[in-house]
Chain A
Amino acid sequence: MTAVGNLTHEPVEGDRFTITSEGTGDTWEIVVGLEVHCELATATKLFCGCPNHFGAEPNTNVCPVCLGLPGSLPVLNQNVVELAMRLGRALHCTVEPSVFARKNYFYPDMPKDYQVSQYDQPINVDGWLDLPDGTRVGIERAHIEEDTGKNTHAGGSGRIHGADYSLVDYNRAGVPLVEIVGRPHIRHPEQAKAYIDELRAILLATGASDAKMEEGSLRVDANVSVRRVGDATLGTRCEIKNLNSLRSLGRAIEYEARRQVDLLESGERVHQETRHWDEAAGRTRPGRSKEEAEDYRYFQEPDLVPLEPSAEWVAAVDAALPVLPAERRARLAEAAGVDPTETAVVVAVQRDLDSLALAAIGAGGDGRRVLTHVEHNLAVEGAESLDPAHFAQLVTMEVAGQLTATQAKAVLTDMVATGKAPDAIAAERGFEAMDTSQLEGIIDGIIAESPQEWAEFCGGDDKRRGKLQGFFVGKVMKATKGQADGKAVNAVLEARRAAAG
């Protein structure tokens, strides 16, 4: 592969991540579709009664069914269907009559040497997920399938080739998964990360999964292609696997896009293939090549019957759905009179502080200020138990000039810790509202103490004045123990300078 040194990139045209070739001057955009496997948080496995539990001793959560012993038969866990539908409906999918199929291939971690999955008739189809930045990413399908066991290869490189021996743990075999296949609507590595973040929030909100990337209960594969900006057709994609963190996801997409642009710019073709992300080396490597491409010989699983959830069941799932992150952002943004894509709104929902913020705004608190506090000053334990009326009162005092921003932050911290009302805390801390004449007196005293600096402040150039402004404000803050309102100090200084001039 050639180096990527002749390429630059810059985020232009909004959130689109583009790569510009110095050689040709062509600008390329990234097209990404994500496939996410997540383990459903059921008590038992997909087709048997074994515990669905991470971290048990190897081969203890197994039975004839999940070991695929001869003669054993699968029985569908109804809770899997419930959780899969909950997720599907949260992703605005249609629940369709579905069937299970067998995906046939040999691998030691797969007890039956086929995986039971949904193929041409999945349970959830055609939905979407709205990213916090407003992008709508289509969801092609979200189908049910079984997980495999886990191989450990001893000796050699740690991979199956060249290992001295391999051990298989079938505890994970038969754990229920939902595979969520997103459409190629993502145009930026950061969007890919935001998609996973948002999906994780939905998985947690619906109780469908604990969605832990580090424990493997949420696994991400990225289909990456590139095309010249303006092209309507999609380029040839590569599927990137082994993405174990959001950081890996972002890095891998960026690396892979550059690799593909490099190939295309040098007149070569991108070969559709599976590639593995090597986190240490910071690059993708070819996995299974096209020549070895598997033919999975899908056919309908004859040991299971078609799955046709009743309209009543789907309606009950809908009725029980929690309010989802996108709707929570919209509600909060509307109440606060801001745009739902604002960071403060996104953060408020991520931290589960949106209901507090909504209640504070409802109690008369200024929306913008409420959000500012939530974003910057409430990343603390116990913030969610804050009394919304007290929060609103604090913001009102701040807007009225009774508290400075710095004071308000300090009071807020005490409110979270003690549960007391803001006026009581302000009184305890001696945060009296300083009237203008009192402030003027202090400033006049400081001016009198520093005639040299004052003269330079009044007569000097802008640069010098800027420096000295900091000098005077600092003195005032010191004299008032930080209780003076910075804006008011600046106003008095300006008035005095105008009078002196």
Chain B
Amino acid sequence: MTLPTTATAIAAAVRAGEVSAREVVDAHLAAIEAGDASINAFNLVLADEARAAAAAVDAKVAAGEDPGPLAGVPVALKDNLCTRGVPTTCSSRILDGWRPPYDATVVERLAGAGAVAVGKTNLDEFAMGSSTENSAFGPTRNPRDPERVPGGSSGGSAAAVAAGFAPVSLGSDTGGSIRQPAALCGVIGVKPTYGLVSRYGLVAFASSLDQIGPFSTTVADSALLLEAVAGHDPLDSTSIDAPAPSLVDVLDRGVDGLRVGLVSELMGEGIAPDVAGRVRQAADALAAAGAEIGEVSVPAASYGLSAYYLIAPAEASSNLARYDGVRYGLRVDAPTTAEMNAATRTAGFGAEVKRRIMLGTYALSAGYYDAYYGKALKVRTLIVRDFEAAYERFDLLLSPTSPTTAFRFGEKVDDPLAMYLNDVCTIPTNLAGHPAMSVPFGAGADGMPVGVQLLAPALGEATMFRAAAALEAAAPPLEEAWS
């Protein structure tokens, strides 16, 4: 028989004993072997480990035991998720040789659900970037057009799913690092409510913004994966003390009567006309399915980018201090401890990471704190307030995920500001701590995928997924260029 391709179908078939996890995993490993040399989605392929894990799933099925809701589902892990005994690099030279002695909570939960980790995916170093060009191990290419970036920072996880190397993957989203590459690669990407998924074992970039979430080719697969990894974790103090939401079961409930607001600040200047056109088309599709569409202003969202580029680097400057050459990873020897610290960090970090460490250090410095970091915190509060006001009138909001479709290599990598503007639509939700997801909706004028973004209030995942399913059903073909 033909092997199933979605996580939902794979899990069902493996659980029913119709196909073996081993067959499924072998097929995906073969696809990686055949295709990843040109894509570079993976930093590390875990072939032996994956085959052993698949065999264990098959043994459970054979023994009549429950192999878990994700039985035999290959999953790719962003290489900033800790994997016990397996190198975890964050695509940085500074973690050279480091093998975590523990699994991230999400990794543990996936294994417990029967999923099979097939590899660690490439990213912008320490998740800082929007193109995966900032990786110490070379860029990942967009499977839809190898001349273009896959987006970032979770470019490897997005590309792995888009290329069929794995039906699902996990990424992390600090300012759009799941949703933007999902949009650019034409797959689903979800940034859950802050605190819904444990951050334990996610190597921190900006702790108050980081959140782990799924990539998939179908809305149902993201729902399945998110259900498996969400829920309270006593190891993460910011984890929400509530059970994981039911998502798979609500997908077919439709959007009849849902109030959806188009965010006016994210539909005008700076947004490519074809992208904006696709978003309006998506709004029409939701209206056709019974939703009420309106326009809504989230004024403070305009300041999101500025606030984000103070808050995220500030936290990063502190989070990345520990890479000092003393305990693990790279060490460049020098006569004194301070010189060793400096030499190690100079050699170990790439240019973008250094830029953000300097930005953040400056923003927190005595005499500048109030003008920069302190002011950014106030903006963050205003953004939360504006979103709350918007959610009094609307159940969900709608916007582009990214201002443009996938751009070409080198186009923005030397212009940090142009690169940062890629995240203008995604950043406000990270600052608010709310969930959002990107759903493919046809292509732009260049034939590259366009993602539309659904935004929901805190813990509004169920409603958000219902609308995503409706968009998925109404979406034009991915290859259909905008005209």
B-binding residues in A (CB < 8 A): 64, 67-76, 102, 104, 106, 108, 111-114, 160-161, 166, 168, 295, 297-299, 302-305
Contacts and interface: CB of A to CB of B under 8 A. Distances in A.
Contact of A70 (B236, B322, B365): B322
Interface stretch (B100-108, B346-354, B391-399, B423-431): B100-108
B282 interface: no
12 contacts: A64-B100, A64-B102, A67-B327, A70-B98, A71-B82, A71-B202, A76-B237, A106-B341, A114-B321, A302-B206, A302-B208, A302-B238
Contacts of B221: none
Given A68-B322, A102-B318, A302-B207, A108 B100 contact: no
B207 A303 contact: yes
B201 interface: yes
Interface in B316-345: 317-318, 321-322, 324, 326-328, 336-338, 341
Given A71-B204, A104-B321, A299 B238 contact: no
B309 to A, nearest CB: 16
A357 to B, nearest CB: 49
Contacts of A74: 237
Given A106-B341, A112-B321, A302-B315, A71 B237 contact: no
A72 B198 CA distance: 11
A69 B336 CA distance: 23
A73 B236 contact: yes
Contacts of A106: 321, 324, 338, 341
B104 to A, nearest CB: 6
B314 interface: yes
Chain A contact surface mostly: loop
B131 interface: no
A70 B88 contact: yes
A166 B328 CA distance: 16
Contacts of B179: none
Contacts of B373: 299
B104 A71 contact: yes
B199 A111 contact: no
Nearest to A299: B364
A111 B238 CA distance: 21
B203 A71 contact: yes
Nearest to B98: A70
A67 B324 CA distance: 13
Given A106-B324, A298-B364, A304-B238, 19 more contacts: A64-B100, A64-B101, A69-B102, A71-B104, A71-B202, A71-B204, A73-B235, A73-B236, A75-B235, A104-B317, A104-B364, A113-B324, A160-B337, A161-B336, A299-B314, A299-B318, A302-B207, A303-B207, A304-B237
A305 B338 contact: no
Contacts of A72: 102, 200-201
A64 B80 CA distance: 16
The 10 closest A-B pairs by CB, nearest first: A113-B321, A297-B364, A302-B208, A302-B207, A70-B203, A71-B201, A71-B82, A295-B366, A71-B203, A108-B326
B40 interface: no
A305 B238 contact: yes
A299 to B, nearest CB: 6
A59 B74 CA distance: 38
Contacts of A303: 204, 207, 237-238
Contacts of B366: 295, 297
Contacts of A295: 365-366
Given A102-B318, A295-B365, A70 B100 contact: yes
Interface in B183-201: 199-201
B390 to A, nearest CB: 25
Contacts of A111: 322, 327
B290 interface: no
B71 to A, nearest CB: 27
Q: How large, as a class, is the contact surface on chain B?
A: 35 or more
Given A71-B200, A71-B201, A295-B365, A108 B95 contact: no
B237 A297 contact: no
Contacts of A67: 327
Contacts of B318: 102, 104, 114, 297, 299
Contact of A75 (B234, B328, B341): B234
B130 interface: no
Nearest to A301: B207
Contacts of A75: 234-237
A76 B321 CA distance: 22
A108 B207 contact: no
A415 B234 CA distance: 58
Contacts of B324: 106, 108, 113
B364 A69 contact: no
Most buried by B among A76, A106, A168, A298: A106
A67 B206 CA distance: 19
B361 interface: yes
B101 A73 contact: no
A252 B317 CA distance: 38
Contact of A73 (B100, B208, B237, B327): B237
Nearest to B367: A295
A302 B365 CA distance: 18
A161 B326 CA distance: 16
Contacts of B238: 302-305
Contacts of B315: 299, 302
Interface in B359-375: 361, 364-366, 369, 373
A76 B238 CA distance: 11
A68 B238 CA distance: 17
Nearest to A107: B337
Most buried by A among B88, B90, B102: B102
Contacts of B201: 71-72
A70 B204 contact: yes
Contact of A297 (B81, B200, B328, B361): B361
Interface in B362-418: 364-366, 369, 373
B82 A112 contact: no
B328 A69 contact: yes
Contacts of A299: 314-315, 318, 364, 369, 373
A68 B203 CA distance: 11
Nearest to B328: A69
A119 to B, nearest CB: 12
Most buried by A among B95, B201, B237, B315: B237
Contacts of A302: 206-208, 238, 315
B104 A69 contact: no
A168 B326 CA distance: 9
B44 to A, nearest CB: 16
A173 B328 CA distance: 17
